[in-house]
Amino acid sequence: MAQGYTQEEGIDYEEVFAPVARIEAIRLFLAYASYMKFKVYQMDVKSAFLYGSIEEEVYVCQPPGFENPSYPDKVYKLKKALYALHQDPRAWYDTLSSYLLENGFERGVIDKTLFIKRKKKDILLVQIYVDDIIFGSTRDNMCKEFEELMHQRFKMSSMGELTFFLGLQVQQKTDGIFICQSKYVQNILTKFGFSDSKPASTPMETHKQIIADLEGEDMDVHHYRSMIGSLMYLTASRPDIMFPVCVCARFQVRPKQSHYQAVKRIFRYLKGQPRLELWYPHDSSFDLLAYSDSDLGGANLDRKSTSGGCQFLGARLVSWQCKKQTTVSTSTTEAEYIAAASCCSQVLWIQNQMLDYGVTFLHTPIFIDNSSPISIVNNPVKHSKTKHIEIRYHFIRDCNEKKLIQVVKVHTDNQFADLFTKAFDVGRFTFLVTSVGMINSE
């Protein structure tokens, strides 16, 4: 292995960037596979970085035991990449993408890790994550041809149907696809000592707010941050814990005993629901729709509001957000308007991403349970009630005028984005979790 840590930027390497697939892109891939009813397969490239060619002049010492006795003081000039060099990922991506483009593939416009090949009405999709590759097609022969193509150029490990990718467990059934991280849940329960804990019915208490608690007992910062980091990784497939984890993450600088108790509650909830899974049914439509909500002044530290949003393709939950707003909102209307703008941004990303699949979405509904922000979006006249809102949030009006999205009133009882903005009792919480497409497969 090369000693890449000795490399100096500008001398030994220049550009090192290589695109990496977002976790949302993987869920979109699986949602599309579910809708089109085709199987997804997985391959792994052996020693992927060794295939990349480097453009910079890089020299390495002769490896111990392989010195040339005729030239003991000489060094080797590299033509190919070695593991641990800074330019490895970039060199490998360039090699792989060039090979695919030469063989009739198109690269995604938005997602540079997505490659598409079309034959009449059939499509082959290939998603790259460094040396892991998942692929699927509406015609089985195209998958077999792709495997043969990759074996011709690289040493590959064919792993059959996709079952595990980027920490996500995937079960491909005859009627749909399950996505979960149940093995990871068991691992973190064991790691942090919650294997025998008493289960909780919800991940967050409704009657007790999480505050700064300056007089409380200090907790071990590293242990607390380790717990939060483990839970954040789990939110890739568990939207039901997204809000409480984000709230607890706000206290990582000086965590107190009360904050630790709140985190323990999340683990106790996971103890009771270790196998809650996302469900992508085959028989659902493929319409894009979104829900947006906010909690005015929900952050006790600075009284900033919390934006929550979720996006569906039919009944398939493909993306969700919980984020503290950057400014203090002075009204519910302002908080809801800012949350809707954030949700709109994610909707536009999904719309652009799906263009690579050959799918176009217009008039995507964003459901809001407040009429005032809907009026602001539909009213192009800038009046006194909105002039203090930062200009960057007003792009949602432009999207509305271009008919990319439409804001629609929804009853509060059916506002599924509530799951990402506040805590609820077990009845309401269970309803929301079920409504976003999470089921227990056991």
Whether 123 contacts 138, CB under 8 Å:
yes
Closest listed residue to residue 186, CA positions, set 178, 196, 177, 176: 196
Mean pLDDT for 260-278 is: 95
Per-residue pLDDT for 324 more than 80? yes
- pLDDT class for 386, splitting at 50, 70, 90? low
Whether 175 contacts 283, CB under 8 Å:
yes
Per-residue pLDDT for 338 more than 70? yes
- pLDDT class for 13, splitting at 50, 70, 90? low
Beta 364-368 vs 288-295: how paired, if at all? parallel
Residue 125 Cα distances to 77, 93, 147, 356, angstroms: 38, 17, 13, 10
Distance between CA 21 and CA 42 in Å, rounded? Answer: 15
Residue 282 Cα distances to 42, 315, 340, angstroms: 20, 10, 29
Beta 405-409 vs 364-368: how paired, if at all? parallel
Q: How many angstroms separate the first and last alpha carbons of the chain?
A: 45
Whether 295 contacts 308, CB under 8 Å:
yes
Q: Give the amino acid at 107.
A: R
In this structure, the number of other CB atoms found within 10 A of the CB of residue 35 comes to 21
Mean pLDDT for 7-32 is: 78
Q: Give the amino acid at 404.
A: L
pLDDT of 172 reads 95
Closest listed residue to residue 154, CA positions, set 201, 95, 236: 95
Average pLDDT, the chain: 90
Task: List residues bridging with 41 in a β-sheet.
Answer: 135, 161
Per-residue pLDDT for 109 more than 60? yes
Distance between CA 329 and CA 334 in Å, rounded? Answer: 6
Closest listed residue to residue 367, CA positions, set 346, 343, 351: 343
pLDDT of 3 reads 58
Query: Using one digit for the tens of pLDDT, what is the confidence trace for 52-96?
Result: 877 777 788 888 888 888 888 888 887 777 776 777 788 888 899
SS3 content of the chain, % helix, strand, coil (to 5): 35, 25, 40
pLDDT of 412 reads 94
Query: ∠ at Cα 153 (151, 159), nearest 5°?
Result: 30
Closest listed residue to residue 311, CA positions, set 319, 299, 301: 319
Per-residue pLDDT for 198 more than 90? yes
State the burial class of residue 210 (Cβ atoms within 10 Å of its Cβ: 0-12, 13-18, 19+): buried
* HSE, side-chain direction, 13 A CA sphere, residue 286: 19
* HSE, side-chain direction, 13 A CA sphere, residue 27: 25
pLDDT above 90 coverage of the chain, percent? 68
Distance between CA 43 and CA 115 in Å, rounded? Answer: 15
Closest listed residue to residue 353, CA positions, set 416, 311, 411: 311
Mean pLDDT for 211-229 is: 92
pLDDT of 353 reads 94
Distance between CA 408 and CA 107 in Å, rounded? Answer: 35
Distance between CA 412 and CA 424 in Å, rounded? Answer: 14
